[in-house]
Amino acid sequence: MKKENKPVIIWLLSGCVLIFIMVVVGGITRLTNSGLSMTDWHLITDTLPPLTEAKWQEAFHQYKQFPEYQKINIHNNFTLSDYKFIYFWEWFHRFIGRAIGIVFIIPFVYFLIKKRLDKETLKKCLILLGLGGLQGFFGWFMVKSGLIDNPDVSHFRLALHLTTAFITFAYTFWVALDLIYPVKRNVEKTLRSIARYTLFFLLLQIIYGGFVAGLNAGLIHNHWPLMSDGQFIHDSVFLEQDSLLLSFTEGKSGVQFIHRTLAYVVTGMILFLYYKSSKYNIDFNQKRSLQTLVFLVFVQFALGVFTLLYGVPLWLGLIHQVNAFFLLSAMTYSLHRFSK
C-alpha cells in the first residue's frame, strides 16, 4: 500500500461501513414493516423528523390516506405512538443514505482537487457515484410500489434495492483493495474462475433473499431439511402460479424452494473452491480468506435454517442478513486475492 493512498483507502472503507449500517437499518425497516411510513420524500425538509406534536399529527394524517393504514393498520388499533416507531426506522434509513452521499461527495471533490486520485481510481469512483445515485432511485422506486393499491412493496423492487446496496458495498470494497494491494501478480486462473462463479451464485442467492423478504415467504414451510408434509419440493411450488417461471419468481413456496436450494449450491461451491485451492501453492492471505469464507458460509447456512424454523423472528432475520454481508465481504476479498 502506498502511503499517499492511505486517506483514500480510509475514505472508501468508511463508505463500506456506512453502507453496512444502512443495510442493517434497512433490514430492521423491512422486518418492522416501517418502509411505507414516510409517504413522501423531500431531500431537505425530511432531514429531521417532525419536531412538534402538530407536525407529527400532520404526518400521521397523511399516512392515513394510503393503503397500508386503510387496509391493515386501521384494524390494529394503530396509534400515533405506533406511527412514531415505524416512522423512525424509515427516517433513519433515509438519513443514513444522505450521510453516505455527503461522506462520498465531499472527500471525492477534495481528493479530485488535490489530485490524489489516479486515472483508474477516478473512473472507479465515478462508477461508485453512479451506483449511489441508482441506489437512491431504486429506494424511491420500491417505496412507490406500496403507496398505490397494494399496501406492500414489490418484491422485485425490494430485491433490486437490496442487491444494488450489496453490489455497491462490494465494489467500494474492491476499489479499496486495489489501493491496498497495488502490486499485480500471476494468479491461478482455475481458482479465479471458480471464485467468479461462486460470487455470481452468491449474488443470485441475495436476490432470492430479497424475494423471500418481499413475499414474506419465510413464514411458510417452516421445516428443514424437507419443506413440509415430508416433501423436499412441496406440491404448492407447482400449484401457486400458472407457470414454473412464475412459481419460481412470484410464488411464496417456489421462491422459498429456490432460496433453500441456492443455499446448498453456494455452500457446495465455496467448499469446492477451498478443496481446489489445496492443489495449488497459495499464499497466507489467500488461504486465510478461504478459511474465513468456509466458516461464514456454514454460519450463514445455520442461521438460514434457524430463521426458517423459528418463523423469522426480528433478531434472527436481522442476524441472517448481517452475516450475508460478512459473507459477501469475504467472497469479494477472496476473489480479489485470486484475481490480482
50-107: pLDDT as tens digits: 889 999 999 899 988 888 888 888 888 899 999 999 999 999 998 998 999 999 999 9
Q: What is the mean pLDDT of residues 183-195?
A: 85
Residue among 319, 287, 288 nearest 302 (CA): 319
Instruction: Give 44's pLDDT tier (boundaries 50, 70, 90).
Output: low
267 grid coordinates: 455452500
> What value, to the nearest 5°, has the Cα angle with vertex 234 and ends 208 and 263?
35
Which pLDDT belongs to residue 336? 94
pLDDT digit string, tens, across residues 312-336: 998 999 999 999 999 999 999 999 9
The mean pLDDT of the chain is: 91
- Count CB atoms within 10 A of the CB of residue 177: 20
In the chain, % of residues over pLDDT 90: 66
Q: What is the mean pLDDT of residues 230-258?
A: 93
Which pLDDT belongs to residue 1? 62
> What value, to the nearest 5°, has the Cα angle with vertex 242 and ends 239 and 245?
95
pLDDT digit string, tens, across residues 101-150: 999 999 999 999 988 888 999 999 999 999 998 888 888 888 887 777 77
Is 224's pLDDT higher than 90? yes
Cα dihedral across residues 308, 312, 316, 321: positive or negative? positive
Alpha helices in the chain (DSSP H): 6-31, 53-63, 67-71, 80-113, 119-144, 155-180, 189-215, 236-239, 244-250, 252-277, 284-309, 314-337
pLDDT digit string, tens, across residues 193-218: 999 999 999 999 999 999 999 999 99
Cα dihedral across residues 220, 325, 203, 158: positive or negative? positive
In the chain, % of residues over pLDDT 70: 98
Q: What is the mean pLDDT of residues 219-232?
A: 91
Question: Minimum mean pLDDT among 71-85, 252-266, 279-293: which range?
Answer: 71-85
**Amino acid at residue number 91:** W
Q: Please, are residues 133 and 98 in contact by the beta-carbon 8 Å criterion?
A: no
